[in-house]
Structure 1
Amino acid sequence: MRFLPLALSAAALAVALVPVAPAQAAALPAIQLVKIYYNSPGSPDNGANGSLNGEWAQIKNTTRKAVSLKGWTLRDKTRAADHVYTFGAFTLGAGKTVTVRTGKGKDTATTRYWGRSGGTFAYIWNQASDTAYVRNASGKLIDSCSYNSSRVESINCA
């Protein structure tokens, strides 16, 4: 009988040493919103192009392969049709980030322009709270990012 406590202790130790598989973390989306700069320098103002371009959202390809974003959309929480940016023929390189600026400019491999103008109503991102949505060409939600603060000018989504 004196071996029973020792046997029970050994069994308890064996159970304690069994490796436990960690809970699986949610997989990152292949295309991910990483930052929204929603309170551009100088705003509110008259909606000058420089101020409009100070408002932007960044999207990153988290994979090791280039991804075509043709037909993909970026939008805010409103249902307004003019608050939807649709990517044309554009491929986001592996591990690369693209910045979508609200105003006008010349599109490059790292920066796209929404092309908005027309004063203070041209801004996309609300200065206190909003949500950004990225959808693929089929309309499936790929990622979203929300903020609720007027005390800072941007949010890191990733």
Structure 2
Amino acid sequence: MLRTRSTAAAFVAAALGGLVLMPAPSQAAAGSVHLYKIYYDSPGTDRRSNASLNAEYVQIRNTTSGAVSLKGWTLTDASNHKYVFGTFTLGKGKTVTVRTGKGTNTATNRYQGRAAYVWNNDKDTATLKKASGARADTCSYNSTKADYKMC
């Protein structure tokens, strides 16, 4: 009898241990809003033309199961150049490109409206924060051998 109880207790403990280690389906499929790509060295000579400024950008991707409001979220570099999202919702599975220069905001492109470059051509760090101030993601690069970084 004692042997049966011990075996049963060991079986229950092992079964519960296995359940504790397995992530819940909602956690595994939750996804995130994260930095996807930084194109930090726009093509050609850096002459601060609007076309050149807009060829420098950061892409943010939503891999969650629903749309996410980015209102109040911030994107900053290591020197604290800050872009703050106004009213904007990033759809499920969608990517938005935040360009440095000027332009008309759309569902796929947002513009910082700057007249100077933000992202250093050799090294920098992008930080994406939620409206609450909590960090959502960071992505750093340290290279002059490429023009962009996949995060």
What is the distance in 1 between the residues matched to 2:113 and 2:36?
Answer: 21
CA deviation profile, 1:43-101 (whole Å, cap 9, x unmatched): 4x22010000000000001111000000000010113xxx1000000000001000000
Cα 1:144–1:64, aligned 2, differ >3 Å: closer, same or farther?
Answer: same
What is the distance in 2 between the residues matched to 1:69 and 1:42?
Answer: 32
1:97 is matched with which residue? Answer: 95
Secondary structure in 1 aligned to 2:149?
strand
1:155 is matched with which residue? Answer: 149
Aligned-partner residue type, residue 36 of structure 2: V
Q: RMSD between aligned alpha carbons?
A: 2.3
1:30 is matched with which residue? Answer: 32
What is the distance in 2 between the residues matched to 1:123 and 1:42?
Answer: 14
| Displacement after TM superposition at 1:23 (Å) | 9.2
Which ranges of structure 1 fall in alignment gaps of 5 or more residues?
1-20
| Displacement after TM superposition at 1:142 (Å) | 0.5
TM-score with structure 2 length normalisation?
0.80
Q: Is the 8 A contact 2:31 2:65 kept in 1?
A: no
What is the distance in 2 between the residues matched to 1:31 and 1:124?
Answer: 22
TM-score with structure 1 length normalisation?
0.76
Task: Report how many residues are paired.
Answer: 131
| Displacement after TM superposition at 1:111 (Å) | 0.4
1:67 is matched with which residue? Answer: 68
What is the distance in 2 between the residues matched to 1:149 and 1:77?
Answer: 15
Cα 1:23–1:155, aligned 2, differ >3 Å: closer, same or farther?
Answer: farther
What is the distance in 2 between the residues matched to 1:150 and 1:52?
Answer: 18
Establish whether residue 131 from structure 1 lines up as the match of residue 133 from structure 2. Answer: no
Indicate the structure (1 or 2) with the bigger Cα radius of gyration: 1
